[in-house]
């Protein structure tokens, strides 16, 4: 890979890549096919190494750079952008070098990404216990056999599985004093089976399939960031900020595409009975103005929080708590604005808006899928409300520790 010298140069390549990816986005959606051909191009551009630390050979970009990259790529092809966002979340944590990621595992992930564009994502959700964002302890478990772990379990919604090289799997051990933590698993390891269950309304190209692990053999040091089962899950406290903002950035990028497309449509479409473009009508001018308000609000909110994060020399507990709350607000606001923008664009386009031959309906279906991401809106609102009222959170938003009573309620 010929790597750009700076993060800015890599980001400058993103708009052209987005246009390239857009050419096959409709086909990927229709066939629910992960556009794997996009990822080598991201690797060649340097975007996969955007947030890897310079001392490790990366470009040293921050959270705000990641927001820019994800939202730009999402404008062209959102499934690619969502997988890129999940990749950044893992590497953004590694770049902190705070001891959370063991050196061997961090080196392995970084070197494989730099050398061959290896992608990584996490697998947390399970069919019977749901998401870790609600404090659930996984049923996926590992049995020790000599100097190896044998990992077995069932994970749902493993986004991008057809393009991943690594999976960060949450699980528990079968030790006398069981621990809960994470296993770094090669995506092509023997004993891994993919079940093709993904058949969603939108974001159909993400290949968020079920993955079955059947006694997958792993070295002992593939298990990390563990805690006693009675204490619950140990999350990186900065994980939630990256997760909330980058997921929102994906849907902001989709709204960006819908906004550009509807502006183009009303500027050039001339109904026979009108004899002038739709843009000449006050009703359309007002509606486009409303789209501008929502889209601009979302953009400014995302980037202001990303910049606050990047400018903070020291990530104190008080700062992390404040930025986590702000990121949660941004997540809800940006996604709602994206839904409003794509809905308005679809309505303004009339019959053409609901035609499968145009992109308006695909953009709207894709942003509706944002509501399925954990943590759900009600949990975020409850936690924000309890924070304002001086009360404890209901359950953790991917950071902090799950309540011990919940940990004890599920047998490994």
pLDDT computed for residue 377 by the predictor = 85
Same CATH topology for 132-231 and 239-374: the answer is no
Delimit the domains of the chain by residue range: 7-118, 132-231, 239-374
Question: Residue 389 has which token pair?
Answer: 């009222």
Query: Mind giving me the DSSP string for 321-348?
Result: HHHHHHHHHHHHHHHHHHHHHHHHHHHH
Q: pTM of this prediction?
A: 0.92
Q: What is the CATH number of domain 132-231?
A: 2.40.110.10
Question: Residue 229 has which token pair?
Answer: 């089962």
**β-strand partners of 216:** 151
Separation CA 224–CA 102 (nearest Å): 7
Question: Residue 408 has which token pair?
Answer: 């004890």
**Structure confidence by residue, pLDDT tens digits, 267-318:** 999 988 898 999 999 999 999 999 999 999 999 999 999 999 999 988 889 9
Taking domain 7-118, whether its CATH number is 1.10.540.10 is answered by yes
Q: What are the backbone dihedrals phi and psi of residue 394, each rounded to the nearest 5 degrees, phi first?
A: -70, -55
Separation CA 243–CA 329 (nearest Å): 13
Q: What is the CATH number of domain 239-374?
A: 1.20.140.10
**Structure confidence by residue, pLDDT tens digits, 79-119:** 999 999 999 999 999 998 778 899 999 999 999 999 999 99
Minimum mean pLDDT range among 242-246, 308-312, 393-397: 393-397
């Amino acid at each position: 890979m010929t790597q750009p010298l700076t993060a800015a140069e890599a980001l400058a390549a993103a708009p052209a890549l987005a246009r390239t990816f857009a050419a096959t986005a409709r086909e990927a959606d229709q066939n629910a096919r992960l556009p794997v051909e996009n990822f080598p191009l991201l690797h060649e551009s340097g975007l996969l190494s955007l947030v890897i630390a310079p001392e490790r050979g990366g470009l040293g970009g921050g959270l705000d750079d990641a927001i820019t990259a994800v939202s730009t790529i999402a404008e062209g092809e959102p499934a690619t952008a969502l997988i890129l966002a999940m990749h950044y979340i893992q590497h953004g944590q590694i770049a902190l070098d705070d001891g959370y990621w063991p050196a061997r595992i961090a080196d392995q992930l970084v070197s494989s990404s730099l050398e061959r564009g290896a992608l990584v994502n996490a697998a947390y959700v399970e069919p019977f216990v749901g998401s870790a964002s609600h404090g659930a302890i996984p049923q996926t478990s590992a049995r020790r056999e000599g100097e190896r772990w044998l990992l077995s379990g069932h994970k749902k919604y493993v986004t991008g599985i057809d393009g991943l090289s690594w999976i960060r799997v949450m699980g528990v051990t079968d030790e006398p004093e069981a621990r809960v933590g994470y296993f770094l698993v090669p995506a092509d390891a023997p004993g891994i089976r993919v079940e093709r269950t993904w058949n969603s309304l939108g974001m159909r190209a993400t290949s968020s399939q079920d993955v079955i692990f059947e006694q997958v053999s792993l070295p002992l040091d593939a298990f990390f960031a563990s805690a006693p089962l009675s204490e619950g899950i140990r999350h990186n406290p900065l994980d939630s900020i990256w997760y909330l903002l980058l997921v929102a950035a994906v849907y902001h990028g989709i709204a960006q595409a819908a906004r550009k497309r509807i502006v183009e449509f009303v500027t050039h479409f001339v109904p026979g009975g009108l004899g002038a473009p739709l843009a000449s009508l006050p009703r359309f001018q007002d509606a486009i103005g409303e789209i501008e308000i929502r889209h601009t609000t979302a953009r400014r909110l995302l980037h202001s929080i990303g910049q606050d994060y990047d400018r903070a020399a020291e990530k104190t507990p008080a700062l992390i708590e404040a930025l986590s709350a702000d990121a949660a607000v941004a997540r809800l606001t940006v996604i709602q604005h994206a839904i409003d923008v794509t809905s308005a664009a679809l309505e303004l386009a009339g019959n053409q808006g609901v035609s499968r031959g145009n992109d308006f309906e695909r953009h709207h279906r894709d942003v509706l899928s944002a509501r399925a991401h954990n943590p759900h809106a009600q949990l975020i609102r409850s936690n924000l409300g309890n924070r304002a009222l001086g009360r404890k959170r209901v359950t953790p938003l991917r950071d902090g520790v799950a309540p011990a009573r919940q940990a004890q309620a599920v047998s490994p």
